[in-house]
Every structure is written in C-alpha cells, then in structure tokens.
C-alpha cells in the first residue's frame, strides 16, 4: 500500500508541475523582446490558440508578456525624443566654422651629418719631408702650405734651365740680326737672293731652341714648386698626417683634409613618399647637440635600399663656423609642399561608434560625422584633412549627439592661434 501511495503522490506532483509549466511561456533567445516568446501550451498542442490554450486563457492562468512599447535598439536620447514627441526642445550644441587653409606637408627624416668631401693632399713628386706646417684639427683654407719636401737638386735644375734659356735667347737675337742684315744687303743688290734661305732656317732653329729652353725652365720650376704641398680645399686637417724626416713617394698623402663647409645630411625617404621628393626642396636640420640649420635637397637616389626599401637622399647645408661635425645624428624636416587643411583644437576630435577618428559638424541643422586624418600636431592645434572647405564643427556638446540627429546649434567665434595654444 505504501508503494502505491508513493507512486500516486509522485504522479499527482508531476501532474501539478506539468499544469503549472503549461501556463508559462517558452522564450527562444536571440530574437529580441517579444519575438521569441511562445506559451508552452501552444508548443504542446502544436498550434496557436488551441482548445486547451483557449480554456486556460479564459480561466486566467496563462502568463501574459506584453510587448515593449519602445524599440530597445534606440539610444536614451532617441527614446526621450520619441517619447516626448516633436514638440520637445532640440539638444543644443556650440559650433565654430573653420575654413581650409594652405597646410605645409612636412616629412621628418632621421639620419646623420657627413662631410662634403675628404681630400688627401698628396705629394706630386717623391722626396723627404722637410717641414710639416699643420697639426691635426687645424682649419686650413685653399692654398695654405701643408708640407715642404727637401728641394735636393731641384733648385740647381732651375738655375741650369734659366741659363739655358738665356743662351737660347742670345742665339735667337744673333740669328735675327743676321737675317735682318742679309735682308738689307739683298735689298741693295749686294747679296745673292739664295742666301736668305740659310738665314731663315737658322732663325727658325733659334726660335725653337728658345721655346725648348723655356719649357725646360717651366718644368724645373714646376718640379721645385711640387716640393711645397698646399691645400686644394678648405677644411680641417685629419689623419693621416706626414712626419718630418719621412720619405714620401709620389701619390702618398702629406695630410688629409675634411671639408666641413658645406656639409651634407644623409637620410632615407620611405617609398610611400618618394614621388613627392624633388631636388631643391627646403629642409630644416636639427642635430642631437642642438644645432639648427637650413638646407636644400641636392640628391635623390634612383635605387632603393634593399633592407629598408627606402631611398637615400642628401641635403646640403652651410657650416661656415665649422661647428657641426661629421657623423652627428640629426633629424631633417623636409617641406614637400602645401595642401588644403584645417587647423582644429584637439578638443573637437572624437570617435564614432566604430572607433573611427573624426569630428562632428552641423549641416542644415543636422549632425554629420566626418572621418579625418591628422597630418601634424602643433602648439596651435592639429592640422587635419578630410573635411569640406568650410566646416561648421561642433566644439561643445559633440559627445552628446549622433550623426543624423537634429540639433539647435549656436555659432561661436573661432579662437585665435594664441588662444588655441594656451
């Protein structure tokens, strides 16, 4: 009897739970409020509003789930606007109209300084170094004496060449006198006409001897001048530097001169902007020690670097006081030109629902969103592109409105550059 009683009680409990569940609602997720809700009794009967559903509904035991009166996808501002009706006041914003201005397009380049040239002052003749006139680190100008070689027999060769020149000159004067005398005699009929030929040959030989003697003197003097090694360029003396008493062969350096004025900046232009690079573009170079100079682009490589896929460039700049050294790390700002842009305060920049950077504007009383690109950041504000030529930018309240929403906009005066930088 106890077993029958237990089974009967369990059956009654199950029957009660089933009846209670039948009066509830089955909710299918992912379909939104009011779209995925069905009475469980309709699922059991396999149809909507069946006989059992109707009986339970008339008895008032079925659960009721009213559909929401407001679309849950609307924002709070849109719900308030919808619930309050068309007569509700529009949200207020403050705007400033910004007009496009010429904007400089600057490209920063990292690199280093390099001397314009490194020139070796070499000996043009062999000899022993007699005197070294400069020291390492000394600044020299064109024509300054660097080293003097032992003259040896070169001075004697010059004296001998001068004597030979004087002898040839005397021979030429004698030959010229003989020719002139013969010409007078022939004119008076006192000399045969065929005598002029021999005198002309002698005069030509005397002239050739004089030219040869002059060339010999020039060569001897040039050889003597080669014992003085002078600077061909202006710059600073560096190693290698000859030592007095050492033997210099022809072509060996007496000193090395680093040309520091003008100097070069070596940098790399990325391939994405190589089409904008042009010879003659202005640049401002700033070194790590703090020197700041102006320069111009003088060379753009036609071949990219295999490792970085960028193009080497050279910027030449003046270094009259030789204060900037070779191999110093520096940065160059190259001005590639101008383009229309807007100078905006950073406070007006915002993000849309997808995280896109831009600004909100008012167009015909309605909010619009424009994606922008920041070109440069300055103390006066940020230069951006992507806006119409004249844009009414929301400066106050842009975070409380969305694109497509009607607003009550109040125009304000655009701040000056000094006000924006504060």
- 68 lies in some domain: no
- 372 lies in some domain: yes
How many domains does one find in the chain? 3
| Range(s) of the domain holding residue 26 | 2-59
CA-CA distance, 355 to 371, in Å (whole number)? 10
- 198 lies in some domain: yes
Among 226, 261, 291, give the residue marking a domain's end. 226
Q: How is 31-44 classified by DSSP, letter by letter?
A: S-TTTSEEEHHHHH
| Tokens describing residue 391 | 């844009």
For position 206, which CATH number holds? 1.10.287
CB contact at 8 A, 262 and 116: yes
Q: Is the domain of 353 the same as that of 404? A: yes
CB contact at 8 A, 362 and 93: yes
Average pLDDT along the chain, 422 residues, taken 10 residues at a time? 62 58 54 58 63 63 56 62 63 92 86 91 88 90 90 84 86 85 80 79 85 88 86 88 88 89 91 83 92 93 89 93 90 85 92 91 93 87 91 91 90 60 40
Q: Is the domain of 158 the same as that of 222? A: yes
Among 226, 249, 269, give the residue marking a domain's end. 226
Q: Is the domain of 344 the same as that of 405? A: yes
Burial class (CB in 10 A: 0-12, 13-18, 19+), 152: middle
- 378 lies in some domain: yes
Residue with the two structure tokens 């679309």: 71
Q: Is the domain of 30 the same as that of 98? A: no
Q: Is the domain of 346 the same as that of 416? A: yes
Q: Is the domain of 33 the same as that of 96? A: no
CA-CA distance, 28 to 39, in Å (whole number)? 11
Q: Is the domain of 98 the same as that of 47? A: no
- Beta bridge pairs of residue 363: 366
Q: Is the domain of 350 the same as that of 412? A: yes
- Find the distance separating the first CA and the last CA of the chain, reported in whole Å: 94
What pLDDT does residue 216 have?
A: 86
- 31 lies in some domain: yes
Q: Is the domain of 96 the same as that of 54? A: no
- 244 lies in some domain: no
What pLDDT does residue 189 have?
A: 77
What pLDDT does residue 329 have?
A: 94
For position 410, which CATH number holds? 2.40.420.20
CA-CA distance, 227 to 149, in Å (whole number)? 5
User: Rounded to an integer, what is the distance from CA 149 to the centroid of its chain?
Assistant: 49
What pLDDT does residue 112 have?
A: 95
CB contact at 8 A, 74 and 299: no
What pLDDT does residue 420 have?
A: 47
Region class of 54: left (phi > 0), else alpha (psi between -120 and 50), else beta = alpha
What pLDDT does residue 55 have?
A: 66
- 44 lies in some domain: yes
- 65 lies in some domain: no
Cα-based torsion angle of the residue sequence 181, 186, 189, 194 in order, rounded to the nearest 10 degrees = 130
């Amino acid at each position: 009897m106890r077993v029958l009683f237990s089974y009967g009680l369990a059956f009654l409990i199950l029957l009660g739970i089933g009846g209670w569940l039948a009066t509830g609602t089955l909710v299918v997720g992912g379909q939104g409020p009011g779209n995925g809700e069905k009475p469980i009794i309709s699922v059991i009967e396999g149809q909507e509003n069946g006989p059992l559903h109707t009986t339970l509904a008339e008895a008032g035991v079925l659960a009721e789930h009213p559909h929401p009166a407001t679309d849950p996808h609307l924002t709070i501002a849109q719900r308030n606007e919808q619930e309050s009706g068309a007569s509700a006041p529009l949200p207020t914003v403050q705007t400033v109209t910004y007009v496009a201005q010429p904007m400089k397009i600057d490209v920063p380049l990292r690199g280093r300084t390099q001397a314009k040239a490194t020139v070796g002052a070499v000996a043009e003749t062999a000899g022993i170094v007699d005197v070294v006139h400069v020291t390492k680190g000394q600044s020299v100008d064109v024509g300054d004496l660097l080293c003097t070689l032992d003259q040896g027999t070169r001075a004697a060769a010059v004296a001998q060449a001068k004597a030979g020149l004087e002898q040839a000159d005397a021979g030429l004067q004698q030959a010229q006198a003989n020719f002139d005398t013969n010409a007078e005699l022939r004119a008076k009929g006192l000399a045969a006409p065929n005598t002029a030929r021999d005198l002309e040959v002698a005069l030509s030989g005397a002239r050739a001897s004089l030219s040869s003697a002059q060339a010999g003197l020039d060569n001897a003097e040039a050889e003597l001048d080669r014992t003085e090694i002078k600077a061909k360029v202006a710059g600073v003396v560096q190693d290698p530097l000859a030592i007095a008493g050492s033997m210099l062969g022809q072509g060996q350096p007496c000193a090395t001169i680093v040309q520091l004025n003008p100097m070069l900046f070596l940098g790399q232009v990325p391939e994405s902007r190589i089409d904008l690079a042009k010879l003659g573009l202005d640049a401002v170079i700033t070194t790590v020690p703090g020197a700041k100079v102006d320069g111009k682009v003088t060379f753009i490589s036609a071949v990219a670097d295999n490792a970085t896929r960028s193009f080497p460039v050279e910027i030449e700049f003046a270094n009259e006081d030789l204060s900037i050294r070779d191999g110093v790390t520096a940065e160059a700002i190259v001005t590639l030109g101008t383009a229309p842009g807007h100078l905006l305060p950073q406070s007006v920049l915002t993000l849309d629902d997808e995280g896109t950077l831009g600004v909100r504007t008012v167009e015909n009383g309605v909010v619009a969103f424009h994606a922008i690109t920041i070109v440069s950041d300055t103390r006066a504000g940020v230069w951006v592109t992507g806006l119409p030529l004249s844009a009414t930018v929301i400066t106050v309240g842009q975070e409380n409105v969305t694109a497509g929403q009607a607003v009550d906009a109040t125009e304000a005066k655009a701040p000056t550059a000094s006000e924006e930088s504060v």
